[in-house]
Structure 1
Amino acid sequence: MEKQTLPNSTLILVFGILSIVGCCCYGFGIIFAIIAIIMAKKATALYNENPELYTGYQNVKTGKILAIIGLIVSALYLAYVIFMFATVGYDGILEMQEEIMKNYGG
């Protein structure tokens, strides 16, 4: 029997990459990471039933690792943003940005 590509193996990899790219977009990386991890869990279960029938498991493993990294970095960044809003507020963040732009010639 001919080998098939695991369903959504490329999509899992893409979502893993998007979770890292989206980590600085106020939580969008978390969404992609969770979707990639859930899809990777399903694909891993399917692969473990009949590993000789499927190819593309490397994409699933890589996408899952990237999604875990993206989830951690996104959660840390989101916690940092919440902390900044709780301590200095929106006006304080704007003042910091203006000061940085003035000091570094932006």
Structure 2
Amino acid sequence: MQMALPNATIVLVLGILSIVTCCCFYGLIGLVLGIVALILSRKDKQNYLANMSYYTVSSYKNLNAGRVCAIIGLILSAIALLFCILFAIFFGFSALNDQEALKEILREMQ
């Protein structure tokens, strides 16, 4: 009797959450969730390739879908983090949290 891969559902959920949270807290939450999903998927993929007859194909497909979502989430989170870093470099850290400070900086630039 075949069984599902142990972390396939977790990887899929973490991959989806990494996409959803890619803009939360400067992209750091999405980065962490995506990295964890990729680490877990690597272990399960090795288990599946070593013993294909023990695991279901559908759980392997879920694992691959979660892996793809995690990669997309990592890319989006990295872009969000890079944007926040560049924003902080050009406008300062105070502009990230205070809209009035950002408006004043933009007025000074004109």
SS at match of 2:6: coil
Write out aligned runs for 1:12-91 (5 A): 12-25=11-24, 26=26, 27-55=28-56, 56-91=59-94
Q: Give CA-to-partner distance per residue, 1:10-58, whole Å, 9 cap, x none.
A: 0000000011011001210000000000100000000001112102001
Separation in 1 of the partners of 2:50 and 2:14? Answer: 24
Separation in 2 of the partners of 1:71 and 1:96? Answer: 31
Kindly tell me: are residues 83 and 96 of structure 1, through their superposed partners in 2, closer, same or farther at Cα, counting changes over 3 Å?
A: farther
Counterpart residue identity of residue 21, structure 1: V
Counterpart residue identity of residue 32, structure 1: L
TM-score normalised by structure 2 residue count? 0.82
Q: Which runs of 4+ in 1 moved over 2 A?
A: 90-99
Kindly tell me: are residues 96 and 80 of structure 1, through their superposed partners in 2, closer, same or farther at Cα, counting changes over 3 Å?
A: farther
Does the CA-based 8 Å contact 2:34-2:70 persist in structure 1?
yes
TM-score normalised by structure 1 residue count? 0.85
Aligned residues: 98
Q: CA deviation at 1:95?
A: 3.5
Moved more, 14-23 or 90-99: 90-99
Quick one: percent identity of the two aligned structures? 40
Q: Give CA-to-partner distance per residue, 1:46-78, whole Å, 9 cap, x none.
A: 000111210200110000000000001100110
